[in-house]
A and B are shown apart, each in its own frame.
Chain A
């Protein structure tokens, strides 16, 4: 009989529907935002999950989350880490990075970039640039809330628009930051030991 199949289906839906009220009663209407206080949004329960109430409550993104690339400068000194070695531009699969190497007054190239562009209407957010950068100068930003009314100007990002401080990077990528700083410190120590 066909009726039973349809009824069974509706019963399932009804049960899911009622379960939300049970949840409300259990939590006294104050639902816990998913992933609050943890690095993940996988809930404790073994079934179902709670809708992320974007934009009031945002799902946390993991540290490795990739959105558009960003360039990093040192908080204290204001130095931009990029040495314009060009690896990111060479490894970029859709070739969306443009770099102009800086030159000193004598016309000799110096390890700094004069111009740096990323065309985000081409970028595929693969993360190769940050993965293969030997100077930790380019990283993947977490900010995904960047929709716009226009693209021809604002989507081609120049160096100023790409720059963020080390403090920002340390805040979004705490583990990578710690690891990189430790490596840097070890390298420094080794260097000074050799000098001595």
Chain B
């Protein structure tokens, strides 16, 4: 039972994790008895790699060494102690975050866990100044070239911490087609921190583990003093799939041995399929709209089927224009497609709302041939269709005729295939639906890597020649000749700068390609997909219940809201009645969530405006208290996984209510008031935000932006009021509306909304009834009646919608997430033009994106 230990200079006893007695996941620190099943329990092949610090730096020996230096080796050892202590106590991390884990990393840097106690608080925006790269989150294929580049730019000695399951081995998104199964496939990793996400304390423990490793190094054999110091790692190429240049010879050799996974066509086992009931209100609206349209169009234009209008492609723009101008359905909430492979068609679906009156949606469908899918673009009618149509093109290959910029949006140009088509299968494809048969009852562990000839999550088209591939620079924004001609007498030169994808202001991995004339923005193009984790493809393979924990990872600052949206959408099809108590708890959680999310947003908006980290620290302080409540109730700070169909996973623990009341009555009002007092009237905040990035009302509606962006532009649209879900109609609260449409209003509306959330919370906590929290029995296998449903909730970052199609089985046939941030980004280039480059950071901050939801 040898546990390697080292005594740090601060007297902290670090127990390192490699010792065989310390098998993680077992008895923890309690050293309890353990059953011995066989003798093979001690296994540690890496033991030799790890130096035994106890032997090398025992406490007594350290003392002895410092007093009596006899040999050269001892001198070196003494020097090493000082040298290593200096290095380990000033590990400056690279300031970049990839996904959900980055949120926990930032929380670790905030005052509650205070990474500064370990000398690691200086998050450097430049890799040139950084010592350690904390790879915090899912590494996607689109992002990995940038990560390798950043790693190459870091000076030696450099260290890498893989934070969380995704960075380590792909995590829950491993099977995704755009996900790299472990950053260690590209760059060497020093410490792996498990968790999904690791809590701040787990990350700190990872940092201590790294420090222990550094203490074991010696100046004598440090590779970074040799010449050459280190070879740079070849940057991966974006081909038809990601290409590691080191692997090109292997690719050429084995390209013929690659197996194409075949799609199994299993006969449907369930004989009689239950069909979901369509809500009366939706049928009524459809009937009314169909009648009005019939007066204008002949019968070829559309047919009415249940709650949907199936429109002929040629008539689509006219029908949409009529709906917008004459019938008041002026808000295109959702646009996506469904691949009906058995019928040989792809169906593009549209959900339209009436922004003035609210109420149920109008549901349009357009059928198109699977072989050559084309549909007229709706961008001339609804500019909000822009990104959504590009996404459908990217995922299904449907070309939208007349779209101004028809190219891929989430994947890169040159990627092979259209991933959301049912016959497109990933390299790690195992089976059409979960659960996989290989897991039980003969579940011998076999990593997905072993099933692929490359040992990686990649597949190349048959016969593809990597040498002949021209890694064309992907759609770089270039100057047009007319721009050059119009430059006039003054010789100025327009320049293009790329903000991101690794940039402190982009709130994650997001890129803005900006064309500048001096300091002024002439054009801007958002580039996304750096965190595209294939949520929808995985979601269609998952059983219905399995999608709950995945929704947590959409907008990881609004976990409860995501759970809420998915639950109410599927409950529409299931037709279950949620018990009273569960409804109240749902609302309490959603509103607490809104406050913590708004706190974060405000803090980081100020960050973008130049008040670096101080306001964020004060905001994160209150947020931590709410996260504590989440952890107490659901078991995790971020990934709550708390909602179930027909109710909730667990009831509130008894200490919840007193603490929640204390927060809601004492702590939070005080914090919000403080924030308001310090920030709202601050002249610098006002100077930087008022009149900047103005989004006019009509444009806002036309661009399909939602949430705070609509309300800051003078539109009274809050789904909690206009299409009420759950029990929001019982509470007394107001929908704050501001009319400026600038950054300031988008900031201030959050403060006002937090007050309203507190109002709801006060009522809900007082009225919370006793009773059941789940309708029916706990079920691990849910069969959802056939049908289609679109459900949406008012999330902190806009409307979060779920569009699900069920064919009566255990898995969704189609699972689409209408992301608020993604569509809000459509407005970015419209409102940023003409402003200074420093303002665009603030504008993006006020739109407030979370990349997990933008890219999904």
A155 contacts the other chain (CB 8 A): yes
B190 / chain A contacts, CB cutoff of 8 Å: 149
What 0/1 readout, one digit per residue, does chain B (164-189) give for beta carbons within 8 Å of chain A? 01001111111100000010100001
Docked Cα-Cα span, A4 to B681, in Å, equals 12
A70 contacts the other chain (CB 8 A): yes
A151 / chain B contacts, CB cutoff of 8 Å: 162, 168-169, 182, 184, 189, 192
Docked Cα-Cα span, A164 to B23, in Å, equals 11
| CB-based nearest B residue for A73 | B35
B285 / chain A contacts, CB cutoff of 8 Å: none
Interface hits, A89-135 → B, CB 8 Å: 89-95, 97-101, 109, 115, 117, 119-128, 131-132
Instruction: Identify which of B46, B436, B655 contacts A149 (C-beta below 8 A).
Output: B46
Docked Cα-Cα span, A92 to B117, in Å, equals 38
B69 contacts the other chain (CB 8 A): no
Q: A168-B32, A172-B28 are in contact. Are A98 and B174 (CB under 8 A)?
A: no
B737 contacts the other chain (CB 8 A): no
Q: Is the Cβ of B192 less than 8 Å from the Cβ of A150?
A: yes
Docked Cα-Cα span, A61 to B28, in Å, equals 13
A141 / chain B contacts, CB cutoff of 8 Å: 25, 28
Q: Is the Cβ of B684 less than 8 Å from the Cβ of A6?
A: yes
B45 contacts the other chain (CB 8 A): yes
Instruction: Identify which of B26, B198, B678 contacts A12 (C-beta below 8 A).
Output: B678
A122 / chain B contacts, CB cutoff of 8 Å: 165, 169-172, 174
Q: Is the Cβ of B439 less than 8 Å from the Cβ of A147?
A: no
B87 contacts the other chain (CB 8 A): no
B295 / chain A contacts, CB cutoff of 8 Å: none
| CB-based nearest A residue for B181 | A121
B629 / chain A contacts, CB cutoff of 8 Å: 42
Which among B237-245, B663-671, B841-849 touches the partner chain?
B663-671
Interface centre among B25, B29, B553 (most CB of A within 10 A): B25
Q: A124-B196, A127-B641 are in contact. Are A142 and B28 (CB under 8 A)?
A: yes
Docked Cα-Cα span, A144 to B206, in Å, equals 10
B174 / chain A contacts, CB cutoff of 8 Å: 94, 121-122
Docked Cα-Cα span, A112 to B44, in Å, equals 27
Interface hits, B189-222 → A, CB 8 Å: 189-196, 198-199, 201-202, 204-206, 208-209, 213
Q: Is the Cβ of B445 less than 8 Å from the Cβ of A98?
A: yes
Q: Is the Cβ of B30 less than 8 Å from the Cβ of A171?
A: yes
Which among A22-30, A49-57, A181-189 touches the partner chain?
A49-57
B595 contacts the other chain (CB 8 A): no
Q: A52-B113, A98-B443, A153-B46 are in contact. Are A148 and B24 (CB under 8 A)?
A: yes
| CB-based nearest B residue for A160 | B41
B49 / chain A contacts, CB cutoff of 8 Å: 149-150
Q: Is the Cβ of B440 less than 8 Å from the Cβ of A86?
A: yes
Docked Cα-Cα span, A92 to B641, in Å, equals 13
Docked Cα-Cα span, A128 to B544, in Å, equals 13
Which among B354-362, B417-425, B464-472, B630-638 touches the partner chain?
B630-638
| CB-based nearest A residue for B439 | A89
B254 contacts the other chain (CB 8 A): no
Q: A41-B628, A121-B169, A143-B29 are in contact. Are A46 and B35 (CB under 8 A)?
A: no
A155 / chain B contacts, CB cutoff of 8 Å: 168-169, 192, 194
Interface hits, A6-27 → B, CB 8 Å: 6, 8-9, 12-13, 16
Instruction: Identify which of A2, A68, A90, A171 contacts B194 (C-beta below 8 A).
Output: A68
Docked Cα-Cα span, A173 to B655, in Å, equals 16
> Shortest distance in angstroms between B461's beta carbon and chain A's nearest beta carbon?
27
| CB-based nearest B residue for A6 | B684
Q: A51-B114, A89-B440 are in contact. Are A128 and B780 (CB under 8 A)?
A: yes
Q: Is the Cβ of A148 less than 8 Å from the Cβ of B636?
A: no
Q: Is the Cβ of A64 less than 8 Å from the Cβ of B28?
A: no
| CB-based nearest A residue for B632 | A62
What 0/1 readout, one digit per residue, does chain A (142-184) give for beta carbons within 8 Å of chain B? 1111111111011111011111110110011001000000000
Instruction: Identify which of B172, B440, B649, B655 contacts A90 (C-beta below 8 A).
Output: B440
Q: Is the Cβ of B192 less than 8 Å from the Cβ of A147?
A: yes
What 0/1 readout, one digit per residue, does chain A (72-97) give for beta carbons within 8 Å of chain B? 01010010100010110111111101
A142 / chain B contacts, CB cutoff of 8 Å: 28
B650 contacts the other chain (CB 8 A): yes
Q: Is the Cβ of A132 less than 8 Å from the Cβ of B184?
A: no
Instruction: Identify which of A55, A132, A160, A175 contacts B37 (C-beta below 8 A).
Output: A160
A65 / chain B contacts, CB cutoff of 8 Å: 631, 635-636
Q: Is the Cβ of A64 less than 8 Å from the Cβ of B634?
A: yes
Q: Is the Cβ of B441 less than 8 Å from the Cβ of A100?
A: yes
What 0/1 readout, one digit per residue, does chain B (142-165) give for beta carbons within 8 Å of chain A? 000000000000000000001001
Q: Is the Cβ of A143 less than 8 Å from the Cβ of B28?
A: yes
A137 contacts the other chain (CB 8 A): no
What 0/1 readout, one digit per residue, does chain B (559-572) give for beta carbons within 8 Å of chain A? 00000000000000
What 0/1 readout, one digit per residue, does chain B (284-313) give for beta carbons within 8 Å of chain A? 000000000000000000000000000000
A47 contacts the other chain (CB 8 A): yes
A49 / chain B contacts, CB cutoff of 8 Å: 111-112, 621, 624-625
Q: Is the Cβ of A144 less than 8 Å from the Cβ of B198?
A: yes
Q: Is the Cβ of B209 less than 8 Å from the Cβ of A147?
A: yes
B271 contacts the other chain (CB 8 A): no
Q: Is the Cβ of B439 less than 8 Å from the Cβ of A148?
A: no
B208 / chain A contacts, CB cutoff of 8 Å: 55
| CB-based nearest A residue for B778 | A132
Docked Cα-Cα span, A8 to B778, in Å, equals 55
> Shortest distance in angstroms between A43's beta carbon and chain B's nearest beta carbon?
9
Instruction: Identify which of A73, A131, A172 contacts B649 (C-beta below 8 A).
Output: A131
Q: A5-B683, A121-B165, A147-B209 are in contact. Are A91 and B635 (CB under 8 A)?
A: no
Q: Is the Cβ of A42 less than 8 Å from the Cβ of B194?
A: no
A54 / chain B contacts, CB cutoff of 8 Å: 113, 201, 204-205
Q: Is the Cβ of B204 less than 8 Å from the Cβ of A55?
A: yes
Docked Cα-Cα span, A89 to B168, in Å, equals 22
Docked Cα-Cα span, A65 to B629, in Å, equals 11
> Shortest distance in angstroms between A55's beta carbon and chain B's nearest beta carbon?
6
> Shortest distance in angstroms between A49's beta carbon and chain B's nearest beta carbon?
6
A58 / chain B contacts, CB cutoff of 8 Å: 201
> Can you list 16 contacts pairing A with B, beta carbon distance less than 8 Å?
A9-B614, A42-B663, A49-B621, A54-B201, A55-B14, A94-B173, A117-B443, A117-B445, A121-B171, A126-B549, A126-B641, A141-B28, A146-B25, A147-B205, A148-B24, A155-B192
Those 6 A-B pairs whose CB atoms lie nearest each other, nearest first: A121-B169, A146-B24, A98-B443, A126-B549, A93-B546, A143-B28
Which positions in A face B, CB cutoff 8 Å?
A: 1-2, 4-6, 8-9, 12-13, 16, 39-42, 46-49, 51-56, 58-59, 61-70, 73, 75, 78, 80, 84, 86-87, 89-95, 97-101, 109, 115, 117, 119-128, 131-132, 140-151, 153-157, 159-165, 167-168, 171-172, 175
